[in-house]
Amino acid sequence: MSDLNKPYILIVEDEAPLVTLLRYNLEKQGFRVEDTGDGGEALTRITEAPPDLLLLDWMLPTMSGIELCRQLRRRPATRALPIIMLTARAEEQDAVRGLDTGADDYITKPFSTEALIARIRALLRRSGSVPQKLKLNFHDISLDPASHRVIRNGRALHLGPTEFRLLEFFLRHPKRVFSREDVLNAVWGRDIHVEPRTVDVHIRRLRKAINGPGEVDIVRTVRAAGYALDLDLGEVA
């Protein structure tokens, strides 16, 4: 299974050893994992591409986990986002405060990774947030993951399976630059050996499939960095 089709969990935690442990165990169980140790950066990431579930530490730099949870619950787009709060605070009143702020579950450090994964699976089942089947739109192009239809300027586009997954990945993360290795891991999967230059071949095929006469190329090549879905063509290799 490619990483794109796996449930996406964002870990917001500033303890590096714990992040490493969580990432290893979650990826082993078939989840796609990203992490950040900063509450402000987490808010930006979630705004750009909401995860299927958030693992949120209470104590964070810039913005506390409690404040981040409070802001997410105020926003219609993230009001129902599943959130599990991780904390060293073991007092009952702390658990009550975390849950009252909007966390769906609360787990005290240290904890069993098996128990945490069981809670994650249960919460994802209850939330019905996986798989994500909403239409994805950027500029004049629209992709429907459920029907596998792609429309640009009113015309249907015909993409191969790999090009479809590529476009879906970029549409879920617009305006973010990804290296070839990032794209390989997300679209092909970490357990598949593919040469990085293979990405260039499929990017060319994708461009050929989605770009008609007079239409802007929305897949940007960023010199020495990778690719992005972006209308800013100022830095093209």
What residue ranges of the chain are covered by domains with CATH 3.40.50.2300? 2-126
Q: Is the pLDDT reported for residue 123 higher than 60?
A: yes
147 pLDDT band (50/70/90 cuts)?
A: confident
pLDDT value of position 66: 86
Q: Which two tokens stand for residue 90?
A: 């073991």
CATH number, domain 136-229: 1.10.10.10
At residue 162, the pLDDT reads 86
Is the pLDDT at 173 greater than 60? The verdict is yes
Give the pLDDT confidence of 50-71 residue by residue, as tens digits.
899 999 988 888 888 889 888 9
What band does 237 get if pLDDT is binned at 50, 70 and 90? very low
Band (pLDDT 50/70/90 cuts) for residue 19 is very high
pLDDT exceeds 60 at position 129: no
- Please tell me the predicted confidence (pLDDT) of residue 185: 80
Determine what percent of the chain is predicted with pLDDT higher than 70: 86
Domain at 2-126: CATH architecture = 3-Layer(aba) Sandwich (3.40)
Which residues in the chain are classed under CATH 1.10.10.10? 136-229
